[in-house]
Amino acid sequence: MATVPIIISGDDDLREKFDRLQGSILGQKMMSEIGAFAVAMIDSRTSEGKDFRGKPFKGYSPKYKLFRAKFGRPVNKVDFNFFGTMMTALTYKSESKEVQIYFLPTPDERNPKITSPEKAFFLNQKRKFFGLNATDVRKIKAIIEQYIEKAFD
């Protein structure tokens, strides 16, 4: 699971409002929206064959390309989709003060001893897909500001 702290500095009033909002029902909705956004960004980039920075993934090895082709899978763009179990296992859990982004422990179709979180961990070592970039963080800040406006204006 990935938990990223949200730190607001330099604006005591905004920090106080954010802290109060986190304990509320509106804070729960905010964290849920942030979680849904983060999962959508990771999923979208990965399906486009890009890492969390937006850079294309390194291509498949020649041996793995042959393996994929044998099963009728695309070989030109790396997208981590063979059976679809890992990326469909990407989800989030939100509470009023945090959101966790993680993979459900679904078994791999080819090797049921390996689960989606394990597969994701190893894939992320080679191709950094599980993360948020500066643009994502700016959009998350905008979500937070919208909720603060709703709660305190």
pLDDT digits (tens, 9 = 90+) for 113-149: 777 777 777 776 777 888 888 899 889 888 988 888 8
Give the H/E segment covering residue 100.
strand 99-103
Higher per-residue confidence, 121 vs 65: 65
pLDDT at 75 over 60: yes
pLDDT digits (tens, 9 = 90+) for 36-58: 999 999 999 988 889 889 999 88
Kindly report the pTM of this predicted structure: 0.78
Confidence at residue 141, expressed as pLDDT on a 0 to 100 scale:
86
Q: What is the mean pLDDT of residues 15-35?
A: 79
Mean pLDDT score across all residues of the chain: 81
- Identity of the highest mean pLDDT range in 6-10, 24-28, 70-74: 70-74
Confidence at residue 8, expressed as pLDDT on a 0 to 100 scale:
58
Confidence at residue 32, expressed as pLDDT on a 0 to 100 scale:
92
Bridge partners of residue 1, in order along the sequence: none
Q: Are 91 and 117 in contact (CB under 8 A)?
A: no
Calpha distance 100→37 (Å, rounded): 12
What percent of the chain stands above pLDDT 90? 16
Long-range pairs for 137-141: beta carbons < 8 A, 24 or more residues apart:
139/37, 140/6, 140/34, 140/37, 140/38
Q: Which residues contact 152 (CB under 8 A, 6 or more apart)?
A: 17, 21
Q: Are 103 and 90 in contact (CB under 8 A)?
A: yes
pLDDT confidence bin for 6, thresholds 50/70/90:
low
Confidence at residue 9, expressed as pLDDT on a 0 to 100 scale:
56
DSSP conformation letters of 23-80: TSHHHHHHHHHHHHHHHHHHHHHHHTTB-TTSPBPPPPPHHHHHHHHHTT---SS--S
Q: Are 132 and 4 in contact (CB under 8 A)?
A: yes
